[in-house]
Amino acid sequence: MGLKIERNPAPVWFRPLIPLLAIALTFAITSTLVLLVKANPLQAYYYFLAEPLSSRVSIIEVLVKSTPLLLTGAAVTFAFVGGFWNIGAEGQLLAGATAATAIGLQMDGVSPLIALPLMIAGGFAAGMAWVLIPALMRVKLAIDEVVTTLLLNSVALLGVSALLNGPWRDPISQWPQSPEIAASAMFPKLIPRSRLHLGFVLAIVIIVVMWFVLSRTAFGLRMRAVGMSPDAARFAGIKVERTLLISALASGGIAGLAGVSEVAGIHFHLIDAISGGNGYTGIIVATLGGLNPWGAGLAALFIGVIDTGSQSVSRALGVPVYLGDVILATLLLVTLAMLLLQRYRVSWSRE
Amino acid sequence: MTPPSIAVEMRGITKRFGSLVANDQVDFTLGRGQIHALLGENGAGKTTLMRILYGLYSADEGDIAVDGQPASIRAPRDAIALGIGMVTQHFALVPPLSVTENVVLGHNLGVRLKLEDAHRRVAEAAARYGVEVEPRALVRDLSVGERQRVEILKALYRDARVLILDEPTAVLAPQEVDQLFEGLRRLRADGLSVVFISHKLREVMNITDHVTVLRGGQVAGVVQTSATTPAEMARMMVGRTTFGMPSLDEASAARSAAQPVLRLESVGALDNKGLAALKGVTFDVYEGEIMGLAGVSGNGQSELAQVLQGTRACTAGRIIVVDQDVSGADPERIMKAGVGRIPEDRHASVVPEMTVAQNMALEHLGEFTSNGSLDRHKIRQHAEKLIAEYQIKAKPDDRIRTLSGGNMQKVILARVMERNPRVIIVSQPTRGLDIGATEYVRSRLLEQRRRGAAILLISEDLDEILELSDRVAVIYEGQIQGILPRTEADPERLGLLMAGAETSQETPHGPQDRA
């Protein structure tokens, strides 16, 4: 008698069930935490999953929460598919937000038709610039980008903090936050009197474009080849270094757009909590989404639901808001484990 | 009681992988102090049977007895404890560690590793078994032949009395094969029993005492080597009497007005460690000619192939294809110049996670793009055409990694040959392929030669070189030791050149020089 593990891929019909199983398992695991604060897990998960989708207002809030995640998730997906392990979406987001603020502060009296494209282009360029050094170090010197992109996140945060405590400190309130950007630089609302803004449309456009590039263009196929086996790609005449550089820069630029979207759509000034960890959550989004643009879109929306739900569950049941973060982290681990385990089968053998 | 002269007895072994029966009621008896061949085409179940004996797989049915005692082998450590060692085709060595460290790894050493003692013990063991290796050398610096010796030493160091060798000669040059055989004979005299997995008849005739032939997972015959002939074994192996290799067409070899299409002039290159791997390599390959490049593995063949494929820098000299200088060119320019490339490492020339169709189009995506997006219909049609034309057993949407070695090689052949290249650089084209696929690949190469392609055939299989080449160049320590017309290239002469013992007087010129 013994436990036997064999390499044996799960049948095809089983694969779509994996995310659902992962979610069920995650809730089973985290329900113990809910029980610890003496709340009813089923009720808690109702607030987490169903409550956010029960009213028009909260659905809009879910979309608002998802907007930066759609962008950072897309950014990380693009980089990972191309074989560039960009852990720096957080820093690139901050760079994009900083550039957007700098531009937005100068846009008084300029038409939005000029101001908005400038904001978007500026934020994209800043995100690209922030990933340029790690990308060049990887391509030219073979220095691991996981470390360099990660470290630059702290540099970006400290940089923002320096700006906010120095030249950009709000002259009136003396808070460490920038002055408000010009009205013409603010993203228009999609629905009046809500927080849903142009950034959401921007994110959807990015996801669609990314899907097209990855699955319908020669560049996308080359990029995937580089990501999957660089040696074979090089052998096939693909310019591996150039392709890597492009996927890294595009990824940084998209993450920069997340910063633009938060400044121009939600906050209207720069604060050092502008990201709220959206850059890191983008890694979860990309992984849960199976490095597929549509998958990333769904994962971002799902996390938007959980995020919104964690507010209502804490209001209704007194469960700490942080439970939402615990659920997301657990979900990531469970999903990764299941993606690995689906390649094996465990069986009891009697010998 | 089983007589003690039997080292291993396997009875009624059956192993299924899903619906595939890899071993079907196989009986196998290995006598003590015997070298026993396990002969069969790829996929016949030889390796599966031995993996069961070594504990890598467990049999669905059947019994194993070692030294007459029933044995339950569930993992390699059980097999090792019973004195069974296995050297697989893919060596299980840790490249950055030294020979000694690799040999003692996994051996019970106590808490502290006394490296000096270990070096001494490994050197002693090597001397005792006549295995030549330097204990302090790092494995990553060793040639394939040397690594194999380390693997054998590793098994012997653990007191193996049964040694399983899985296609041990696939990677060796003639002298290394002789050395291996000499070593095996000595070990046999000491009472070691050897299972010799192979599909090379000549070697089986040469070294073994008994032969068990497998075909389609079943035993096709058990014979005493001295009482059989290669023809009889071949018949058992493939189930048909003859499987003649295509022979060269002498008329076309005598073509006199041929043009050199590939010219190498004093080409130099470095290996991965930054040492000179190629030193002034000079030769020409003419249209309609196959130039074989023979040599002991690790004498610069891989580096030369990579330079000609565009994946390694050329540090000196010139490479000219027709009239274009492609020295130091990248793969794209080399392909544009009319060079087709069939590399040594199949897995590094296709993207395993991509589909057959995508891999077939990957090198020339520009031709499959219209209005900025990929023409997926065209990619598919292109794949369907090549699949039919090259008899590839796969569908356009199958991922390459699910293909057998033979079919993977056909995909690569198809990708190269459909473009009618002027020059073909081909390395180890049949390594690891079964007889059917080998025959297919060779006949396609000859077809390209008839078409007028200039082919550089780099192979460690001397039989292959002799069967296909018009001329044979021999490389030794990064230099061309000599170039012989086929008529003069007998194994003895080549062997001496490959060992660096003789330098040919001939200058590296074209077919006009031939007798």
- The three-state DSSP-derived secondary structure of A125-175 is HHHHHHHHHHHHHHHHHCCCHHHHHHHHHHHHHHHHHHHHHCCCCCCCCCC
Is the pLDDT assigned to residue A224 strictly greater than 90? Answer: yes
Instruction: Please check whether residue B281 lies inside any domain of the structure.
Output: yes
Residue B398: which domain range?
350-420
Question: What is the Cα–Cα distance from A307 to B246, expressed in whole angstroms?
Answer: 70
Tell me the C-alpha distance between A121 and A184, whole Å.
16
Concatenated DSSP letters of B450-478: HHT-EEEEE-S-HHHHHHH-SEEEEEETT
CA angle A299, A305, A306 (to 5 degrees): 90
Q: How many CB atoms lie within 10 A of CB B453?
A: 25
A15 phi and psi angles, rounded to 5 deg: -60, -45
- Give A10's DSSP letter: P
pLDDT single digits (tens) B123-164: 888 887 777 788 888 988 887 778 888 988 888 888 889 999
Both B391 and B477 in a single domain?
no
Does B191 lie in the same domain as B64? yes
Matching residue, tokens 């010796």: B149
Phi then psi dihedrals of residue B209, to 5 deg: -100, -40
Placement of tokens 């392709």 in the chain: A243
Q: Are residues B302 and B431 both part of a single domain?
A: yes
B240 pLDDT higher than 50: no
Distance from CA of B262 to the nearest CA of A (A): 20
Could you say which of B332, B350, B372 has the minimum Cβ distance to residue A217?
B372
Q: pLDDT tens digits for A297-343?
A: 999 999 999 888 888 888 888 888 888 888 888 887 887 787 777 66
Question: Which residues from chain B sit within 8 angstroms of residue A243, using beta carbons?
Answer: none
CA distance A170 to A184: 20
What is the tally of structural domains in chain B? 3
- A39 Cβ contact partners less than 8 Å away, ≥ 6 residues apart: A317, A318, A319
> In this structure, are B440 and B291 located in the same domain?
yes
- With respect to residue B329, please indicate whether it lies within any of the assigned structural domains: yes
pLDDT at position B256: 47
Contact A221 B365 (CB under 8 A): yes
Instruction: Write the CATH number for A293.
Output: 1.10.3470.10
End residue of a domain, out of B420, B445, B480: B420
Query: Is residue B244 a part of any domain in this protein?
Result: no
What's the pLDDT at B257?
53
Q: How confident is the model at residue B105 (pLDDT cuts 50, 70, 90)?
A: confident
What pLDDT is stored for residue B255 in this prediction? 46
Q: Are A41 and A323 in contact (CB under 8 A)?
A: no
- Give me the residue from B311, B366, B374 closest to A216, CB to CB: B374
Say if the Cβ atoms of B373 and A217 lie within 8 Å. Answer: yes
**Reported confidence tier of residue B111, pLDDT bands at 50, 70, 90:** low
Nearest to A207 by CA among A60, A19, A67: A67
CB contact under 8 A, A235 and B349: yes
Helices (H) and strands (E) in chain B, counts: 17, 22
pLDDT tens column, B253-305: 444 457 799 999 999 999 887 788 999 999 999 999 999 998 877 789 999 99
Q: Which residues of B touch A (CB under 8 A)?
A: 58, 72, 74, 309-311, 330-332, 335, 341, 343, 347-354, 358, 362-363, 365-366, 368-369, 372-374, 376
Q: Is the pLDDT of residue A225 over 80?
A: yes
DSSP string, B178-213: HHHHHHHHHHHHTT-EEEEEES-HHHHHHH-SEEEE
Q: Note whether B442 and B323 are same-domain residues.
A: yes
Nearest 5 degrees, angle CA A106-CA A107-CA A108?
Answer: 100
**Res B436 pLDDT > 70:** yes
Residue A34 belongs to a domain: no
Q: What is the pLDDT of residue B42?
A: 65
Tokens of A218: 């020669």
Q: Of B371, B392, B420, which closes a domain?
A: B420
Distance from CA of A225 to the nearest CA of B (A): 6
**Chain-chain contact of B352 with A234 (C-beta, under 8 angstroms):** no
What is the greatest pairwise CA distance in chain A? 83
Contact B348 A233 (CB under 8 A): no
Please indicate, yes or no, if residue B33 is contained in any of the structural domains. yes
Same domain, B416 and B267: no
CATH of the domain at B54: 3.40.50.300
pLDDT for B251 equals: 40
Side chain identity at B380, as an amino acid letter? R
Give the Cα-Cα-Cα angle B57, B215, B411 (nearest 5 degrees): 85
Verify that B232 and B298 share a domain, yes or no: no
For range A57-68, the mean pLDDT: 94
Give the pLDDT of residue B157.
86
A90 is a domain residue: yes
Give yes or no for residue A104 having a pLDDT over 90. yes
Query: CB distance B374–A234 less than 8 Å?
Result: no
CB-based contacts of A20: which residues, under 8 Å, 6+ apart?
Answer: none
- Considering the domain boundaries, does residue B455 fall inside one? yes
Backbone angles phi, psi at A169, to 5 degrees: -55, 135
Query: What pLDDT shows up at residue B143?
Result: 78
Q: Let me know if residue A271 belongs to a domain.
A: yes
B305 and B390: one domain?
A: no
Q: How far is it, in rounded angstroms, from Cα B314 to Cα B307? A: 6
In a domain, B461, yes or no: yes
How open is the CA angle B485-B489-B495, to the nearest 5 degrees? 140
Greatest mean pLDDT range, A88-92, A303-307, B92-96, B506-510: A88-92
Is A214 a member of any domain?
yes
* Alpha carbons A173 and A164: distance in angstroms, whole number: 12
**Residues in contact with A158: Cβ distance below 8 Å, sequence separation at least 6, in sequence order:** none
Q: Say yes or no: B148 and B115 in one domain.
A: yes
Q: Given pLDDT bands bounded at 50, 70 and 90, which one contains residue A172?
A: confident
Last residue of a domain, one of B420, B455, B478: B420
Residue B250 in this model has a pLDDT that exceeds 80: no
For residues B451 and B438, give the distance between their C-alpha atoms in angstroms, rounded to a whole number. Answer: 20
Tokens of A276: 């709220």
Mutate to test the interface with B, among A224, A226, A235 (most CBs of B within 10 A): A235
Counting runs of H as helices and runs of E as strands, what totals does chain A give? 13, 2
Option in A212, A221, A239 nearest B358 (CB): A221
- Residue A340 in any domain: the answer is no
Percent of chain A scoring above 70 in pLDDT: 93
Alpha-carbon distances, residue B373 vs A205, A216, A233, B215, B369 (angstroms): 18, 5, 20, 48, 5
Supply the DSSP symbol for B355: B
A156: tokens are 């970006």
Q: Quick one: pLDDT at residue A155?
A: 96
The number of domains in chain A is 1
Task: Using alpha carbons, select from B459, B462, B125, B151 the residue that is nearest to residue B142.
Answer: B151
Test mutation, B351, B354, B419, chain A, max A CBs within 10 A: B351
Q: Is the pLDDT of residue A91 over 70?
A: yes
Percent of chain B with pLDDT over 90: 48
Kindly state whether residue B243 falls inside one of the protein's structural domains: no
Sign, CA dihedral B499-B501-B502-B508, equals: positive
Q: How far apart are CA B394 and CA B388, in angstroms?
A: 10
Q: Band of the pLDDT at A116, cuts 50, 70, 90?
A: very high
Name the token pair of B435. 């007889």
Tell me the three-class secondary structure of A263-293, residue by residue.
Answer: HHHHHCCCCCCCCCCHHHHHHHHHHHCCCCH
Chain A interface mutation, best of B334, B335, B342, B365, highest count of A Cβ atoms under 10 Å: B365
Distance CA B99, CA B354 (A): 37
pLDDT at position A2? 62
Residues B156 and B291 in one domain: no
Based on the fold, state whether residues B26 and B170 are members of the same structural domain: yes
Is A123 part of a structural domain of the chain?
yes
Residue of A nearest to B306 (CA): A235
> What pLDDT score does A11 carry?
65
Domain residues for the domain of A239 are 68-316
List C-alpha distances in Å: B179 to B92, B140, B169, B176, B184.
22, 21, 11, 5, 9
- Kindly tell me the sign of the dihedral angle through the C-alpha atoms of A132, A133, A136, A142: negative
Q: Which residues pair with B471 in a beta bridge?
A: B291, B485
Predicted pLDDT at A66: 96
Label residue B246 by pLDDT band (50, 70, 90): very low
- Residue A131 belongs to some domain of the structure: yes
Give one word for B317, left, alpha or beta, with left for phi > 0 and alpha for psi -120 to 50.
left
Task: Nearest chain B residue to A219 by CA: give it.
Answer: B365
Give yes or no: residues B372 and B496 share one domain: no
Name the token pair of A54: 């029960």
Composition of chain A by helix, strand, coil, percent to 5: 70, 5, 25
Domain contains A17? no
| pLDDT top residue among B17 and A98 | A98
Alpha-helix runs per DSSP H in A7-111: 17-36, 41-45, 56-81, 89-105
Give the DSSP letter of residue A48: I
